[in-house]
Amino acid sequence: MTSQTHRVLIVGTGSIGERHLRCFNKTGRAHVGFVEINDQQAARILDEYPHAVRVASLSDASDWTAAVIATPAHLHVQQAIDLLKQRLHVLIEKPVSVSEERISELSRVTEHSNRVAAVAYVHRSNPVFQLMKACLVSGEVGRPLQLTAVCGQPFPFYRPAYANTYYARHEHGGGAVQDALTHIINLGESLLGPISSLVADVAHLAIPAVEVEDTVHVLARHQDVLANYSLNQHQAPNELTITVVCERGTLRFEGHRSRWMMMKEPCGTWEEFIVPSDDRDAPFLRQANNFLDAIEDSSRPYCSLEEGIATLRANLAILDSSSQRCWKELAS
């Protein structure tokens, strides 16, 4: 482990921001601080994490190495631009934004800053997923032809306060598309490249106290690879399965079972590759170390800003398609 110590500022200390603060501290590679406008929440954070330093505002961030932006999604772009202009590296929580407004400016500022800008699609840090992706990239099973992703969970069980958070409003990054499916779309794009076209159907079926969608079906093309994505946030099991059918075999990632599988012979048997299950902080700890590695040696972050923007465009196309009842072509 490197002896270099970074000063990492967490912007926003809701549930995800607090997890980032805790996990960057756990790396042993960072002194952590935070910006929080709610005084009561800030007092709780200082009590829980006495090593952390409260910073009054983003304008006081210039002597920090990096920042994690964990505020509601409609604030991400402006905050990222401000921090990059102060020469900080930035890790932006997903999604990058809720529109394409000022996205080109963010890309330009990032390029001119010579700083790392990454997006916190934490599922990319899953070692099981990484092993399956490595198999796909190796060419062992040939060219991918089709992807099917099926996932769901009892969202209110995990986030009981959801109705009083960003989740309740699309314009703040809420709803199943921007909150949950975006992770799965991003995994699919990690395997196959950006989505090139799609058609979608969404509905609010079950979750009480909100009106945003909790169920999504998407048919998509990643260029010449066909894909379908299905997600709901109200089923009893917490499950994620991604199956990739290739020319010479089939790969399957099962996040809920911490395993990936491969079958190469017609009607054969699955080869199983199981990795010990993580605790809930482990993916975020890997992501934090990956981000610090990228700062130190210019290695590739799990999800670059460019990749995060591609997923943002998919999010927006899904919402547009569902409201307009039509196929959407995405910019390459």
Q: What is the structure's pLDDT at 82?
A: 97
The 10s digit of each residue's pLDDT in 52-77 is 999 999 998 999 999 999 999 999 99
3 band by pLDDT with thresholds 50, 70 and 90 = low
Per-residue b or e along 110-137, where b marks 16 or more CB atoms closer than 10 Å to that residue's CB? beebebbbbbbbbbbbbebbbbbbebbe
Phi, psi (deg, nearest 5) at residue 236 = -70, -45
CA torsion, points 106, 55, 52, 296, in degrees to nearest 10?
30
CA torsion, points 118, 146, 213, 117, in degrees to nearest 10?
0
pTM higher than 0.85: yes
Write out the two tokens for 42.
């800030």
Q: Domains, the chain, ranges and CATH?
A: 6-123+285-301 (3.40.50.720), 126-279+311-329 (3.30.360.10)
Q: What is the structure's pLDDT at 278?
A: 84
pLDDT at 4 over 80: no
Say how far apart CA 8 and CA 328 lie, in whole Å: 39
Write out the two tokens for 81.
């631009």
Write out the two tokens for 51.
């090593």
Q: What is the structure's pLDDT at 1?
A: 42
- In whole angstroms, how large is the CA radius of gyration of the chain? 20
Using an 8 Å Cβ cutoff, are 184 and 231 in contact?
yes
2 band by pLDDT with thresholds 50, 70 and 90 = very low
When pLDDT is averaged across residues 97-117 and rounded to a whole number, the result is 97
Q: Which amino acid belongs to residue 5?
A: T
8 band by pLDDT with thresholds 50, 70 and 90 = very high
Q: What is the structure's pLDDT at 231?
A: 98
Residues 6+ apart with CB under 8 A from 221: 195, 196, 197, 198, 227
12 band by pLDDT with thresholds 50, 70 and 90 = very high
Say how far apart CA 99 and CA 96 lie, in whole Å: 9
Say how far apart CA 72 and CA 166 lie, in whole Å: 6
Residues 6+ apart with CB under 8 A from 245: 144, 145, 146, 147, 148
Could you tell me which residues are beta bridge partners of residue 200? 218
Helical residues (DSSP H) of 71-102, grouped into ranges: 76-85
What is the share, in percent, of the chain residues with pLDDT greater than 70? 99
Q: What is the structure's pLDDT at 277?
A: 84
Q: What is the structure's pLDDT at 332?
A: 67
The 10s digit of each residue's pLDDT in 204-243 is 999 999 999 999 999 999 999 999 999 999 999 999 999 9
When pLDDT is averaged across residues 163-183 and rounded to a whole number, the result is 97
Nearest CA-CA partner of 310 in 189, 138, 216, 215 = 189
3-state secondary structure of 86: coil
When pLDDT is averaged across residues 290-315 and rounded to a whole number, the result is 96
Q: What is the structure's pLDDT at 83?
A: 98
When pLDDT is averaged across residues 288-300 and rounded to a whole number, the result is 95
End-to-end alpha carbon distance in the chain: 39
